[in-house]
Amino acid sequence: MATPNLFLIYVTDVERSTRFYSDLFEMEPVTITPRYVPFEVAPGVLFALWSGRGDTVTTATPRTSELGLMLPGSASGVDDCFTAWTSKGATVIEEPHEDVFGRTFVVADPDGNLIRVSPID
């Protein structure tokens, strides 16, 4: 059976988003092209920025999914990540709080794509 190994995030400005995600996740992309920038997040697994044909992605498109980052350790690690990311300019959607899966917060990238941080399930 096939396992998903490519996760696309639609962005309107690939260069701006590459800088944002490189800084936020402290990692470099595998390669950079004008419309597609992949980051290898595990062997054979890519998280990629994609602008489509340029006319298909707009900031008016509702963002209804979330990119997730699950951190090992205690709730203080989630709070430390929140502090680090907000100092890098991430837009806060939800402040750190307790939820069904533990301490969590949500920020947005420049296009409004949501990024949730929580502890490892």
- Over residues 47-67, the mean pLDDT reads 77
The answer to whether position 56 is within a domain reads no
Query: In this structure, what CATH number is given to the domain that contains residue 116?
Result: 3.30.720.110
Query: What is the tally of structural domains in the chain?
Result: 2
Based on the fold, state whether residues 31 and 75 are members of the same structural domain. no
Domain hosting 116: range is 65-120
Separation in Å, CA 21 to CA 27, 47, 70, 85: 8, 10, 16, 11
Based on the fold, state whether residues 43 and 70 are members of the same structural domain. no
Based on the fold, state whether residues 69 and 116 are members of the same structural domain. yes
Based on the fold, state whether residues 8 and 34 are members of the same structural domain. yes
Instruction: Note the pLDDT tens digit of each residue in 83-117.
Output: 999 999 899 999 999 999 899 999 999 988 999 99
pTM: 0.87
The answer to whether position 59 is within a domain reads no
pLDDT value at 28 more than 90: yes
The answer to whether position 60 is within a domain reads no
Based on the fold, state whether residues 71 and 46 are members of the same structural domain. no
The answer to whether position 44 is within a domain reads yes
CB 50 within 8 A of CB 10: yes
Based on the fold, state whether residues 116 and 69 are members of the same structural domain. yes
Based on the fold, state whether residues 85 and 45 are members of the same structural domain. no
What share of the chain has pLDDT > 90, as a percent? Answer: 74
For 109, residues 6+ apart whose C-beta sits below 8 A from its C-beta are 9, 11, 17, 20, 21, 24, 90, 91, 115
